[in-house]
Amino acid sequence: MFNYFVNKWRERQAKKTFKEYEFKKVSFNLAKEGPVQYAQWLHPGEFRNVVTQENVDFYKQFIKNEIL
């Protein structure tokens, strides 16, 4: 029973610590927009994102034309 409380305490302490992860620049060449770059976070739980022209077109419908 004592080990249970010790392990719980250690888990709590581990959650309080922060670790910084690097990033890398990822670029995609889109048909209408041309080259697009973003910074991809290199966290082990992060998956590789792919930016497609369909994604950009979808979000464009929610953005005012003055911004574009």
Predicted pLDDT at 10: 81
On whether the pTM is more than 0.75, the answer is no
Q: Which residues contact 36 (CB under 8 A, 6 or more apart)?
A: 27, 28, 29, 30, 51, 56
58 is a domain residue: yes
Distance between CA atoms of 49 and 37, rounded to whole angstroms? 12
Q: Is residue 4 part of a domain?
A: no
Residue 56 located in a structural domain: yes
Q: Which residues contact 41 (CB under 8 A, 6 or more apart)?
A: 21, 23
Q: Please give the C-alpha separations between residue 68 and each of 35, 36, 54, 59, in angstroms, as whole numbers.
A: 16, 14, 16, 11
Residue 14 belongs to a domain? no
Q: Say how many domains are in the chain.
A: 1
Residue 44 lies in a domain: yes
Q: Is residue 9 assigned to a domain?
A: no
pLDDT per residue of the chain (68 residues) written in tens, 0 to 9: 788 888 888 888 776 667 788 999 999 999 999 999 989 999 888 888 889 999 999 999 998 777 65
Rg of the chain over Cα atoms, rounded to whole angstroms, equals 21
**Domain span at 54:** 19-68
